Structure formats: structure tokens, C-alpha cells
Amino acid sequence: MALTDITERSSKMPPNAAILYPRAQPDSDSPHFMGIIRITQGGMFWVTGWERIVNGKLVIELKFTPKDSR
């Protein structure tokens, strides 16, 4: 499966869209991914994600933090 390059639109995210970037993990509690999401009615949020296991399947757990709170 070929991946789509979205470099051009990554800085101009439309409403209700998110981008997560993989990141190095200093420890097991650090997020595997970090990014940003723009919610139409809610504004901008930082997004962090962790790879986890639920019922034996790989999932990504997400946390949303209002961008203006940092």
C-alpha cells in the first residue's frame, strides 16, 4: 500500500482533522505519538497517543489538551 504525502497541507489542517507524529520515547509512560487537532466548535488541541493493547489487539490511546493550556 502506497502512502500519501501530505506535507503541503500539514500546516493548513481543515476543521475536524488531526496529524500525529511518531516520537522517541524516553520511558514507557511517554507518548508514542504527538500532534495537533482542530475541532470546529472546540478550537485547537494538542494530541498525544500511546500504543496499547485492548483484548489482545493493538490500539492507540489518545489524550486531548487545549492548545492554550500549555
- Per DSSP, 4 falls in state P
Q: What is the pLDDT of residues 34-43, one digit of tens each?
A: 998 888 887 8
| Class of residue 49 by CB neighbours under 10 A (exposed 0-12, middle 13-18, buried 19+) | buried
pTM more than 0.95? no
Residue pLDDT, tens place only, 16-37: 888 899 988 777 788 999 998 8
45 with 67: CB under 8 angstroms?
A: yes
